[in-house]
Amino acid sequence: MTNQTYPHLLAPLDLGFTTLRNRVIMGSMHTGLEDRFFNYGKLAAFYRERAKGGVGLIVTGGISPNRQGWLLPFGGTMNFIGDIFNHRKVTSAVHEEGGKILMQILHSGRYGYQPFVVSASSKKSPISKFKPKALTESGIEATIRDYARCAKLAKMAGYDGIEVMGSEGYLLNQFLCARTNLRQDSWGGSIENRMRLPVEIIKRIRKTVGNDFIIMYRHSLLDLVEGGNTWEEVLTVAHALEKAGVTILNTGIGWHEARVPTIVTSVPRAAFASVAGRLRREVKIPVVASNRINMPFEANDIIARGDADMVSMARPFLADSQFVVKAASGRADEINTCIGCNQACLDHTFSNKRASCLVNPRACHETELVYKPAAVKRKVAVVGAGPAGLSAATVAAECGHDVTLFDSSDSVGGQFKIAMQIPGKEEFNETIRYFSKKIELTGVKLRLGQRVTRDELLAGGYDDVIVATGIKVRMPPIPGIDHPKVLSYIDVLQKKVPVGKRVAIIGAGGIGFDVGEYLLHNPAHPLPLPIPTWAGEWGVDLNATTSGGLVKPDAPEPVRQLFLMQRKTSKLGAGLGKTSGWVHRATLTRNGVVMMAGVAYDKIDDEGIHVTVGGEARLIPVDHVVICAGQDSLTELMPPEGSTGGPRFHKIGGAALAAELDAKRAIKEGAELAVSL
Ligand code: FAD
Ligand code: NAP
Ligand code: SF4
């Protein structure tokens, strides 16, 4: 599968004993399906679709070599012969589609969220409540044996190789860094001692599995934590791993406890590829670039300029299983692009829920949400071309229904057109691009600039009407809400009404935080932020001259003084995404935003906003007050309760429920309704 547009990405890679069909790796992702034997059929279906979609090499989610290594209680393991039967379902599915697959061996060390955790030393991690036991020397030897046995069983289960997880702050990283390895014995101290565990593991695995088996090692290039390794140490480890028998060096950036974002949407695309390039120039085996690479052009470019031999993308394969075939056939504009939101993948994983994808609710539900031809073709009207309506219309049309999609605006996207105005959320535009193309491909009849009424819908002869009209902004009844200094978030983000230097934001949900980031953006900085500007803001040394790759962040010069307020007394932003909320909080805090909880809004007048906090009345003098106080559903098209006859009416997305609305639910509801018509 070669293609003139992406010749580097789609070129085969000869590893000597085996050849990979292209340079695309689907990186390891914990789906939640690998933890239960009865889910292996679903897991096999998930990987089969990706293999059929042309991925060169798939890496499974992390499988623990023993019970101490579990990330969560009763996580997936590969430590006795009975385990291989489930895994064979996965390997056979991938091989039948011409793909290759590695099993990732992941020992979580002190990141495990279970009582058996072990580490190099008994130092608790900030992200698990369980304090680890320091491994004894015999415990270390047993761990090495467990890795080797795990790899041997993986080979018996039909895997083409294994990936040893050595980055993101898991056990092997914990041994590698002085931050967590406080040992005084021959497994601690110098880098030569600290790297003994991963190196011994690789040697033992190689001895056990022979030479015709891929061993990929995920090596941490920038730890992004205090006490992380220096570049010299990173290279010392890489050379030792190469010598010990590693076939491919995959790369990882940042520990899970790092306070620098590494994969959320605001991280510029391919931000860390240059660091992989520095490693590639030092070793002879293939090197893989990873992190925030989500489209074929960037991936191809990374290989073309010599920063890597292969590119690993993980979440992009949740978003679109057909990524590679679309790229190879010149249809990159049809790719459903991962927007880096983490809402249905990592946020689910860290809440112990099955992973999926905001833009593709079929991910990890391939056998349950099936877009198959409908038995009866129905005439369907979808009103509202936001995420919910776009999803419903395109899936219904894909299933063979006759679909007309209406929107009163002159373009599709709904609130996603507003969301993409937020600095760091530019990627949301890709979802609009994807659905626009999908409308064309599935033959949905698009009627823009048309605010439809119920009478028009009743006269249209439709079998089904899907009301996906979204929301109307809530303006709370605060005295002075009509004052000229009061703006809604729509006024600010969509209508671009000029905003003064001192601003109060009422409502600290997702939109309040987003408006904060929008108002703090320095217009002198282009968007999306160039990689060096972003690295400076977060204190990342991409030249890796410091321990862990950390430097002092650039001091921000806030362009406005913001006051972010909520009525609840809880921490502001507590309801934001588990894996992304802290990034928004850190950005606002760094820019000096005053966060106010437990606020009662008394009135807004020429002086500013009058509030009561903790029983004390205060005036906050501001130029503007921006209302981000949630929304109410827009349901005017729904027939009155109890009416009979005419088409079946359905409500989805914001129109169905405005509270806690997000695009994940909107898109999922649209797809589920469409297949059920
Ligand atoms: P909408 O997107 O509101 O679409 C409704 C559509 O219906 C509109 O296009 C409207 O023009 C049309 N319409 C209404 N009435 C009629 C009519 N009578 N006739 C014709 N057309 C009509 N969600 C997330 O999950 N993650 C995020 O990070 C995120 N960030 C956001 C940031 C901002 C700044 C904003 C504003 C929203 C954000 N959201 C986010 C929320 C997300 O955009 C919404 O959850 C989602 O758009 C809801 O989809 P929907 O299709 O139900 O409604
Ligand atoms: P939200 O998260 O429900 O927040 C609404 C805010 O308004 C809350 O802070 C609430 O706090 C306040 N509020 C509610 N009623 C009020 C009233 N009558 N008077 C004054 N304040 C009131 O809603 P949102 O921020 O509008 O976001 C909408 C949806 O978009 C969210 O559900 C979210 O999932 C999604 N979104 C997600 C992201 C993301 O990054 N994942 C980003 C943006 C939006 P108090 O009640 O304490 O005052
Ligand atoms: Fe990407 Fe968001 Fe889907 Fe996760 S949920 S794969 S981050 S688009």
Q: What is the pLDDT of residues 408-439, one digit of tens each?
A: 999 999 999 999 999 999 999 999 999 999 99
Could you tell me which of 7, 56, 3 has the C-alpha nearest to residue 304? Answer: 7
> Which token pair is 166?
């050595």
Give the pairing of strands 561-565 and 594-596: parallel
Query: pTM above 0.95?
Result: yes
Strands (E), 130-181: 133-134, 161-166
Q: How much is the pLDDT for 1?
A: 47
Q: How much distance in Å is there from the Cα of 353 to the middle of ligand 3?
A: 15
> Which token pair is 443?
């033959």
Burial class (CB in 10 A: 0-12, 13-18, 19+), 230: middle
Q: Which is the closest atom of ligand 2 to the Cα of 568?
A: 47
Give the pairing of strands 445-448 and 402-407: parallel
- Architecture of the CATH domain 486-522+557-629: 3-Layer(bba) Sandwich (3.50)
List pLDDT tens digits, range 19-61: 999 999 999 999 999 988 899 999 999 999 999 999 999 999 9
For ligand 2, whether the C-beta of 507 sits within 6 Å is yes
For ligand 2, whether the C-beta of 511 sits within 6 Å is yes
State the catalytic residue, choosing from 111, 147, 159, 170. Answer: 170
Could you tell me which of 509, 630, 516 has the C-alpha nearest to residue 574? Answer: 509
- Over the chain, what is the mean pLDDT? 96
Q: How much distance in Å is there from the Cα of 559 to the middle of ligand 1?
A: 29
Q: How much is the pLDDT for 3?
A: 61
For ligand 1, whether the C-beta of 340 sits within 6 Å is no
Calpha distance 614→92 (Å, rounded): 63
Which of 28, 50, 354, 358 maximizes ligand 3 atoms within 8 Å of its Cβ, making it the mutation to test the pocket?
Answer: 358
Side-chain-side CA neighbours of 292 within 13 Å: the count stands at 21
Closest residue to atom 2 of ligand 3, CA basis: 341
Q: How much distance in Å is there from the Cα of 576 to the middle of ligand 2?
A: 10
Phi, psi for residue 548 in degrees, rounded to 5: 75, -5
- Is 170 one of the annotated active-site residues of the chain? yes
Q: How much is the pLDDT for 204?
A: 98
Mean per-residue pLDDT pooled into runs of 10, the chain (677 residues):
80 98 97 90 97 98 94 84 93 98 97 95 94 97 98 98 98 98 98 98 98 98 97 98 98 96 95 98 98 97 98 98 97 98 95 95 98 96 98 98 98 97 96 98 97 94 97 96 98 97 97 98 91 96 96 94 98 93 96 98 98 97 98 93 88 92 94 97
CA separation, residue 662 to residues 302, 343, 426, 536, 630 (Å): 34, 9, 17, 31, 12
Could you tell me which of 167, 165, 251 has the C-alpha nearest to residue 205? Answer: 165
Q: How much is the pLDDT for 596?
A: 98
Which of 488, 514, 566, 595 maximizes ligand 2 atoms within 8 Å of its Cβ, making it the mutation to test the pocket?
Answer: 566
Calpha distance 227→117 (Å, rounded): 22
Alpha-carbon 508 to chain mean position? 22
> Which token pair is 7?
């010749």
Q: Where are the domains of the chain?
A: 13-335, 379-473+632-676, 486-522+557-629
Which of 415, 465, 632, 664 maximizes ligand 1 atoms within 8 Å of its Cβ, making it the mutation to test the pocket?
Answer: 415
For ligand 1, whether the C-beta of 510 sits within 6 Å is yes
Q: Which residues line ligand 3 at a C-beta cut-off of 6 Å?
A: 315, 318-319, 338-345, 357-359
> Which token pair is 222?
């920038």
**Ligand nearest to the backbone CA of 337:** 3
Q: How much is the pLDDT for 80?
A: 87
For ligand 2, whether the C-beta of 158 sits within 6 Å is no
Closest residue to atom 39 of ligand 2, CA basis: 510
For ligand 1, whether the C-beta of 341 sits within 6 Å is yes
What are the start-end ranges of the H helices in 56-136? 83-96
Closest residue to atom 30 of ligand 2, CA basis: 662
Q: How much distance in Å is there from the Cα of 598 to the middle of ligand 2?
A: 15
For ligand 1, whether the C-beta of 653 sits within 6 Å is yes
- Architecture of the CATH domain 379-473+632-676: 3-Layer(aba) Sandwich (3.40)
User: What DSSP character marks residue 64?
Assistant: B
Phi, psi for residue 384 in degrees, rounded to 5: 110, 115
Query: 13-335 in CATH: which number?
Result: 3.20.20.70
CA separation, residue 179 to residues 227, 565, 671 (Å): 5, 38, 47
- Look at the chain and count its residues: 677
- CA end-to-end span of the chain, whole Å? 38
> Which token pair is 96?
């039948």
Q: How much distance in Å is there from the Cα of 605 to the middle of ligand 3?
A: 43
For ligand 1, whether the C-beta of 638 sits within 6 Å is no
For ligand 1, whether the C-beta of 661 sits within 6 Å is yes
Q: How much distance in Å is there from the Cα of 418 to the middle of ligand 2?
A: 15
Strands (E), 16-94: 19-20, 24-26, 57-63
Q: How much distance in Å is there from the Cα of 359 to the middle of ligand 3?
A: 7
Tokens 């906090």 sit on residue: 613
Q: How much distance in Å is there from the Cα of 235 to the middle of ligand 3?
A: 32
Calpha distance 29→36 (Å, rounded): 16
